[in-house]
Amino acid sequence: MRTLIFRTVAPYLTSLLVLFSVFVLLRGHNEPGGGFIGGLIAASAFAVYGIACGVQPVRRALYFHPLAIAGCGLFIGALSGVVSVFAGVPFMTGLWAYPTLFGNEIALSTVLTFDIGVYLVVVGTITSVALALEEREFD
C-alpha cells in the first residue's frame, strides 16, 4: 500500500478531502451535504492518510485524541440545544443571527453549531476506530 506515489499524494489528497468536507458541512443546510456526510468524508481522508503514511503522522496531525474530538463534538451539540433554554424557548429550538462582515451577511445559528457537533462526533469516532485498527501496537 505504501507506494512512493501514494505516500507523496496522500497529504495533498487528505488536505483537499478535509477542505471539501468542511465545504460540504457548511453548505449542508441548503444543498446536499451536512455534518454527517462531511464527517464521513473527513474520516475517510484521515483513513487514507493513515494507510499511506502510518498512524503516528495522523495522530500528530490531529494533535488531539480522536475520541476527545468526538466528545467535544457531542458537547457542542448538546450545548447548541441548551442555548435555546436561555432564550426562553424549548430545548433544541434553532436560533438565528445575521451579522454583517465585510459587507456580506452571514447566517449564523445554533443549528449550524449543532451540525458542527455532529461533524466532529463522526470524524472523531470513525477516525479513532480506523486508526486503532491500522495500528500494529498498543497506542
Size of the site for another protein (CB under 8 A): 48
Question: Beta strands of 1-139 (E only): which ranges?
Answer: 96-97, 100-101, 104-105, 108-109
- Cell 457542542, residue located: 76
Which residue among 73, 86, 100, 105 contacts another protein (CB under 8 A)?
A: 73
The count of other CB atoms within 10 Å of the CB of residue 111 is 17
**Shortest distance (Å) from residue 22 CB to another protein:** 15
Is beta strand 104-105 parallel, antiparallel or unpaired with respect to 100-101?
Answer: antiparallel
- Our finding on whether 62 is near another protein (CB under 8 A) is no
Which residue among 3, 4, 12, 30 contacts another protein (CB under 8 A)?
A: 30
Which residue among 13, 44, 61, 83 contacts another protein (CB under 8 A)?
A: 44
- Which H/E stretch holds residue 5? helix 4-27
Is beta strand 108-109 parallel, antiparallel or unpaired with respect to 104-105?
Answer: unpaired
Give the cell for residue 54.
502510518
**Shortest distance (Å) from residue 33 CB to another protein:** 7
* Footprint on this chain of another protein (rule: CB under 8 A): 28-37, 40-41, 43-44, 47, 51, 67, 70-71, 73-74, 77-78, 81, 91-92, 94, 96, 107, 109, 111, 114-115, 117-118, 121-122, 124-126, 128-130, 132-134, 137-138
